[in-house]
Structure 1
Amino acid sequence: MNELLDPRNDFLFKRIFGSEENRDVLLAFLNQTFIEANSQPLTEITLLNPYTEKDAPRDKQSILDIRAKTAGGELINVEMQLFNKYDTEKRTMFYWSKLYSGQLQKGQPYNKLQKCVAINILNYAFLPNHQYHSVFHLREDRTGIPLIDDIELHFLELPKLDDHAVPVVNGGLVNWLLFLKDVDKSNWEVLTMHDPMLKKAMTTLEFLSQDAEARRLYEDRQKYLHDEASMIEGALAEGEKRGQAIGEARGEARGEARGEKKKAVEMTLELLKLGVETSIIAKASGLSEEEIKALKNQNN
């Protein structure tokens, strides 16, 4: 039997959570996320971009996110990020804004805009806190008054789950994140004890792990993600190296400039002692006449 594939791979994540046959799995995961954030659970969702064969990772630049609409018309975007592509906050706002503004057709009024929720599952630490689940809204700084409820951003940071985190017996978001973070089957029984939808997610992972075509596409995507991460890290390292080299070069240049300036000042002082005219000293030393006059006054 083949070893289990990693559900944090965005291609595989969308197969598990973003297919029509697993829409109930996505609904269960979303409800655990919202319940933990003290929001009302959903009753129904519609997938706006369900998994199809076109989502196969042959298009290396594809964003394998999951978009859904609630019964009330609110839009939800779920994205799994296996590696840090940096500028996470700006990336999140950019995709949220596209989702939000994309609702309006030409000539429609602004009151047609519905709430949009972005859920980012990150395989890296991002925010300067110890919470694995952070939620952002638009609030006034001092009073906490909400301006509008249309924006809601969730960040689920898998590394902030303690390695020894205990599964919640009655079910909960922690169990879903432990499943995503650690595919060790020895934990599955307690994770799924009170959550049949999580069990369905695990069964889907097992099936895909044994499917030759799914495994091939997974490995293609995994290779691309690793290559992309390496390229980004390499570019950052090269940028730091160049920045350091430029800093050192500027330091050397400043040192040389200070040396030349010192020589010019020493020459000027000698010429002043000999009574040479200021205009002639300026041509010889490269100093301005104002600088020469200031040195003359200091010397006197």
Structure 2
Amino acid sequence: MGRFINPFTDFGFKHIFGREMDKDVLIEFLNDLLEGEHVIKDLRILNNERLPETEQGRKVIFDIHCETDKGERIIIEMQNREQPNFKDRALYYLSHSVVEQGVKGTWDYKLAAVYGVFFLNFTLDEENETGGNRIASGKGEKFRKDIILADRETGQVFNPKFRQIYIELPRFNKKEEECETDFERWIYVLKHMETLERMPFKARKAIFERLERIGSMANLTPQQRAQYEAEWKMYNDYYNTIDFAEQKAMERGMKKGMEKGMEKGIKQEKQSIALKLKKLGLSLEQIATTTGLSLEEIEALE
């Protein structure tokens, strides 16, 4: 493990962006994301379990739901693994945030804007990649997609109250000295945070010094560190499982066998992590959030 936490674990993501006491970090990130078009002065972090779960369990592992001082709703999620129909899922979540603004009785249908910000550890539209390569390597690759409601012919915005922003981390390949904007500096730090020996850009922007303190392993409590280490192991083992399964599948040409083997291995690893967290005294709800297992599955573990 490095000096800083991995922001793409459930604990790491919410520790950095999802705590009311450190909401100024989230505000600064969002203002750099929307630089030149929007300024957020304050926000409140809402209950992240307001979003519905599928019967199979939540595949979008990390989410932060907040409301700005102007009433705008912003959903921020981190998706570590490719998922069928992810764009549809994102649309469904944002639509849910629109619909829940409805008022019974007489209503003028005036809505607060809804934003979705999605960090992706994979690239979208794999079938359109040259040679089928899902990991883009060129420095000129577009790593941010902004989706708006606009006129197809003129490109003029039709309604500014529904927007999706996808950040495809594998497409971002700039080095530290090549980052030109504060938003690019955020993405560089988040992508490399676990392996950094020092926090860059502190002299340029004070929030990175704050991020250094929040993300430091040395500043975690013993319970926080135990939870993080358990999640980090699951995160690491997940990618090792995928790499191993893909290698074996390529050797044998057995895609179905790969999928079943991956599912079984990941399920066993989740159960092992859940059992360790039970012994550490975490609540069943905390363990369920961390591992994605149901309360019934966790209760049955011995």
Q: Which residue of 2 aligns with 1:218?
A: 228
In structure 2, do the counterparts of structure 1 residues 145 and 6 end up closer, same or farther at CA, with 3 Å as the change threshold? Answer: same
Q: Distance in 1 between matches of 2:257 and 2:92?
A: 25
The reply on whether 1:199 has 2:209 as its aligned counterpart is: yes
Whether the 8 Å CA contact 1:77–1:117 is kept in 2: the answer is: yes
Match of 1:238 in 2: 256
C-alpha contact (below 8 Å) 1:117/1:151 kept by paired residues: yes
Of the three residues 153, 156, 163, the one matched with 2:167 is 156
Q: State TM-score, norm by structure 1.
A: 0.65
Find the partner of 2:185 among 175, 190, 193.
Answer: 175
Task: State the one-letter code of the partner of 1:238.
Answer: K
Are 2:104 and 1:106 equivalent residues in the alignment?
yes
Change (3 A) 1:2 1:134: closer
- Whole-Å separation in 2 of the counterparts to 1:222 and 1:110: 48
Q: Structure 1, residues 251-288: CA drift from partner, whole Å, max 9, x if none?
A: xxxxxxxxxxxxxxxxxxxxxxxxxxxxxxxxxxxxxx
The structure number with the bigger radius of gyration is: 1
Residue 165 and residue 91 in structure 1: after superposition, are their counterparts in 2 closer, same or farther (change >3 A)?
A: farther
Distance in 1 (CA, whole Å) between partners of 2:77 and 2:31 is: 16
Partner amino acid for 1:16?
Answer: I
* Cα distance in structure 2, aligned partners of 1:27 and 1:124: 25
The Cα shift of 1:177 comes to 0.8
2:65–2:75 Cα contact (<8 Å) kept: yes
State the Cα distance separating 1:95 from its structure 2 match: 0.9
The 8 Å contact of residues 146 and 164 in structure 2, kept in 1 or not, is answered as yes
Partner Cα separation in structure 2 for residue 212 and residue 206 of structure 1: 13
Deviations 1:223-243 (A, max 9, x none): 555677768x8899318999x
Cα distance in 1 for residues equivalent to 2:178 and 2:21: 26
Q: Which amino acid aligns with 1:32?
A: D
Contact 1:3–1:209 (CA under 8 A) maintained in structure 2: no
Once the two structures are TM-superposed, the CA of residue 2 in structure 1 deviates from its matched residue by 6.4
Secondary structure of the residue aligned to 2:167 is strand
Query: How many residue pairs are counted as aligned between the two chains?
Result: 229
Change (3 A) 1:192 1:151: same
2:5 matches 1:5: yes
Aligned equivalents of 2:196, 2:234: Cα separation in 1: 27
Provide the residue aligned with 1:138 in structure 2: 149
Residues 19 and 50, structure 1, Cα contact 8 Å, conserved in 2:
no
Task: Say if 1:81 and 1:69 are closer, same or farther in 2 by CA, change over 3 A.
Answer: same
CA–CA distance in structure 2, aligned partners of residues 209 and 182 of structure 1: 19
- Distance verdict in 2 for CA 1:97–1:241, change over 3 Å: closer
d(CA) in 2 for partners of 1:224, 1:108: 50
**Do the aligned partners of 2:61 and 2:78 also contact (CA within 8 Å) in 1?**
no
Summarize the alignment of residues 1-300 of structure 1 with structure 2, pairs less than 5 Å apart: 3-35=3-35, 38-49=36-47, 61=58, 63-107=61-105, 109=107, 111-127=109-125, 130-166=141-177, 168=179, 172-183=182-193, 184-186=195-197, 188-189=199-200, 191-207=201-217, 210-222=220-232, 237-238=255-256
> Helix, strand or coil for the counterpart of 2:62?
coil
Which stretch shifts more, 93-102 or 199-208?
199-208
SS in 1 for 2:148: strand
Q: Which residue of 2 aligns with 1:279?
A: none
C-alpha contact 1:29 1:176 (8 A) present in aligned 2: yes
Question: Where do 4+ consecutive residues of structure 1 move more than 6 Å?
Answer: 226-229, 233-236, 239-242
Residue identity over aligned pairs, in percent, reads 24
Secondary structure (helix, strand or coil) at the match of 2:39 reads coil
2: CA distance, partners of 1:42 / 1:94: 25
1:168-192 residue CA offsets vs partner (Å, 9 max, x unmatched) = 47x6011111111102434524x22
